[in-house]
Amino acid sequence: MSFHPIRFPLDIALASRGGPERATDVVTLASGREERNSRWVHARRRYNAGYGIKSRADMAAVLAFFEERRGRFHSFLWRDGLDHAGVDEPIGSGDGVRTTFQLVKRYGADFDPYLRPITKPVADSVVVKVGGVVTAVTTDPSTGIVTFAAPPAEGAAITASFSFDVPVRFDTDRLDIELTSFDAAEAPSIPLIEVRE
């Protein structure tokens, strides 16, 4: 099994459905109170690409993509139509020593924000600012780590704007395809699941 650095057909992905999933255990006590435990630190996204198929050509493209990935065997890139960019996201502050920083996207306000590690940025989309000034960095598109040539000054706020993809795999080894007319096909369910790295 390996990761294929290729994106699922974009026009089909953008018409699909899906979003984040959490794993929370809820135990109701005899008193009626609850005890809750979040088993995952990070959400895991699920998608259904079947909604994006509008024609026989779309189905042929998905079929070829599915076969090349060997079903669930190889993971690949997915563009989430609603959540694929970060703008001026805080990724750290300088200490005069550290030169590498992980890209993250922040969800929520100051009460209890969730910081999502971004591991598959679109490399040429990353713009990093130190103290509000655009600064040159190198970006690893396979990890989301940005590297400065020299460490940012102590206390300097570091922000990043970027586009990103989600690493996913097919969550099935079988495609159920129906040819509905001369130039139309559908596959009601083509489940995809995020691959945690």
Predicted local confidence at residue 83, as pLDDT: 95
Look over the chain and give the mean of its residue pLDDT values, rounded to a whole number.
93
Average pLDDT on 17-25 reads 94
**Percentage of the chain with pLDDT > 70?**
96
Asked if residue 54 has pLDDT above 90, the reply is no
pLDDT band at 176 (very low <50, low <70, confident <90, very high): confident
Q: Is the sign of the CA dihedral 149, 153, 159, 165 positive or negative?
A: positive
E strands within 40-123?
44-48, 75-78, 85-93, 100-102, 104-107, 114-117
The pTM for the full model equals 0.89
Predicted local confidence at residue 117, as pLDDT: 97
Average pLDDT on 83-106 reads 96
Separation of CA 44 from chain center: 9
Separation of CA 87 from chain center: 15
Average pLDDT on 141-164 reads 96
pLDDT band at 177 (very low <50, low <70, confident <90, very high): confident
Predicted local confidence at residue 110, as pLDDT: 82
Residue 168's nearest CA partner among 81, 61, 73, 104 is 73
Predicted local confidence at residue 102, as pLDDT: 98
- CB neighbour list of residue 33: distance below 8 Å, 6 or more residues apart: none
**Percentage of the chain with pLDDT > 90?**
80
Q: Which residue has the higher pLDDT, 108 or 52?
A: 108
- Measure the CA–CA gap between 195 and 4, rounded to whole angstroms: 12
Predicted local confidence at residue 88, as pLDDT: 96
Looking up tokens 């940005």 gives 146
pLDDT band at 182 (very low <50, low <70, confident <90, very high): low
Average pLDDT on 145-152 reads 96
Average pLDDT on 108-137 reads 94
CB 5 within 8 A of CB 119: no
- Measure the CA–CA gap between 167 and 4, rounded to whole angstroms: 9
Asked if residue 180 has pLDDT above 90, the reply is no
